[in-house]
Amino acid sequence: MLPQPIPVELAEIIAQRLRIIGDPTRIRLLDALRSGERSVNHLTEQLGTSQQNASKHLGMLLQAGIVSRRKQGTTSWYAIADDSVLALCEQICGALQAQLEELSAIVGPTR
Amino acid sequence: MLPQPIPVELAEIIAQRLRIIGDPTRIRLLDALRSGERSVNHLTEQLGTSQQNASKHLGMLLQAGIVSRRKQGTTSWYAIADDSVLALCEQICGALQAQLEELSAIVGPTR
DNA sequence: CCAGAGTACCACCGTGCAGTTGTACATAGG
DNA sequence: CCTATGTACAACTGCACGGTGGTACTCTGG
């Protein structure tokens, strides 16, 4: 599926994508959106951060096409538009768990 | 598999992991290692970067447990230790292609 | 028309990181 | 030994980014 020598441009696109998701606040925003559509106010309170910060990160996720925005009155409702990002986090956690199991096997092999 | 409210610490770990992979040079290093074990010198020439830069990024990937190092004489041989990173890139590309197809469907729906 | 709520944008600051330069270390060859 | 080769580490610089404060804009309710 991937071309054998990945061109520099594609490497930069992939890297940019990974860096967009690679932020604790944005990961927590996406996590909060797993339950469904949420307003900025709700997300701000759930994360315990400032409204400006939440809006800023949601704007970045929106521009990247990872979330979608729906305006109703004065409130904006955000939702996950790209389900693959959650699978990405799952995969990361899976790799981490595999590494931890290897380490524990080395530390305590006979036990 | 993932806990429902992702704890802040886990979000930071996932984010750090994504940021480590989210660099064009490191993605190209991992891509070059898809063909098998390679020396620093070989990777330096293949990427067209400096030896110091390649060594620096390889050190980061090594510390993260993504690649492995084997020293023989004066040369260091690096190899991919965590195959899931390649699947990660594949997934990113898949999501990008899906988004592109959606866009092209909007731009030229009858053609 | 006015006040308040909800949201987004802008400027700023501090931090972290990518790339470069210089250099130290280890090993093989003569 | 002495030199060359291959690699890793430290310091520096420029730049991008995360968080914050301030503010403008929009819509709703009175």
Spans of all domains in chain B:
8-81
Question: Do the chains contact at B12 and A24, CB–CB below 8 Å?
Answer: yes
The domain A8-81 is classified under which CATH number: 3.40.50.2300, 3.30.479.30, 1.10.10.10, 1.20.120.1230?
1.10.10.10
Q: What is the 3-class SS of A26-65, one letter each residue?
A: HHHHHHHHHHCCEEHHHHHHHHCCCHHHHHHHHHHHHHCC
- With cut-offs at 50, 70 and 90, classify the pLDDT of residue B101: confident
With beta carbons under 8 A apart, name residues in chain A contacting B1: 90, 93-94
pLDDT digits (tens, 9 = 90+) for B48-57: 999 999 999 9
Between helix B51-63 and helix B40-47 the angle, nearest 10°, is 120
Strand D contact nucleotides, protein CB < 7 Å: 5-10, 17-23, 26-28
Rg (CA), chain A: 18
Helix, coil or strand: residue A66:
coil
Per-residue pLDDT of chain A (111 residues; tens, 9 = 90+): 677 788 999 999 999 999 999 999 999 999 999 999 999 999 999 999 999 999 999 999 999 999 999 999 999 999 999 989 988 888 888 888 888 787 788 787 654
- Report DSSP state, residue A92: H
One-letter amino acid at B13 equals I
- Report DSSP state, residue B68: E
